[in-house]
């Protein structure tokens, strides 16, 4: 962290680089703000700096109603619906849509499946199922390139319900079947 004078100068300039990194508590008002807040800059003797909104609240300060510091960058509330999409992506990468359907995933996130699909289209221009399929194909390609497992085994490990589904996905994505790709590159062991 910078010393007090450097922090205060950044606050006085309303430096956006500090937004979400430091919080400014004003002793005379009992309020804490983001460094970009448009409220009048308090005197240096009335200011304390905190590393988090929680720290400022713990010290007895209330959030500013103008700049809403509890929604500063890096807070889930600031990221809005992107937070839900990021949580869903982590679950999909962990194989959630390999084991369950879209409705079950949405239920785990506390939203409806149609809303989840809308959020994915808004943030990623793809549906959750398209993302899951893309991840499965990528896992299968890695297994195909680095192991000598059978196509059936690769399909199961990558999250496909059958080798036929794997073949279909590969044909759509790459324009060739997994077995053709293996025979042209040769199988390699890790």
Contacts of 109 (CB under 8 A, 6+ apart): 84, 87, 88, 91, 116
Helices then strands (H, E): number in the chain?
Answer: 11, 4
37: annotated active-site residue: yes
Q: Which of 10, 53, 67, 89 is catalytic?
A: 67
Residues in the chain: 190
Q: Which of 33, 89, 137, 166 is catalytic?
A: 33
153: annotated active-site residue: no
75: annotated active-site residue: no
Tokens of 94: 């962990």
Question: Which helix (H) or strand (E) is 180 found in, with range?
Answer: helix 178-185
Q: Which of 47, 56, 64, 135 is catalytic?
A: 64
* Residues identified as active-site: 33, 37, 64, 67
């Amino acid at each position: 962290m910078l010393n007090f004078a450097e922090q205060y100068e950044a606050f006085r300039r309303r430096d956006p680089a500090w937004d979400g990194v430091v919080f400014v508590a004003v002793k005379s008002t009992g309020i804490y703000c983001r460094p970009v807040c448009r409220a009048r800059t308090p005197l240096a003797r009335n200011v304390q700096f905190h590393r988090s909104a929680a720290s400022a609240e713990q010290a007895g300060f209330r959030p500013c109603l103008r700049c809403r510091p509890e929604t500063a960058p890096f807070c889930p509330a600031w990221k809005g619906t992107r937070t839900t999409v990021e949580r869903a992506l982590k679950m999909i990468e962990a194989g959630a849509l390999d084991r369950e359907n879209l409705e079950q995933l949405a239920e785990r996130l506390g939203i409806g499946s149609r809303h989840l699909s809308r959020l994915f289209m808004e943030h990623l221009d793809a549906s959750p199922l398209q993302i899951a399929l893309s991840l499965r194909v990528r896992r299968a390609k890695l297994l195909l390139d680095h192991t000598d497992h059978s196509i059936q085994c690769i399909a199961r490990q990558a999250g496909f319900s059958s080798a036929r589904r794997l073949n279909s996905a590969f044909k759509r994505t790459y324009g060739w079947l997994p077995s053709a790709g293996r025979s042209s590159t040769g199988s390699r062991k890790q």
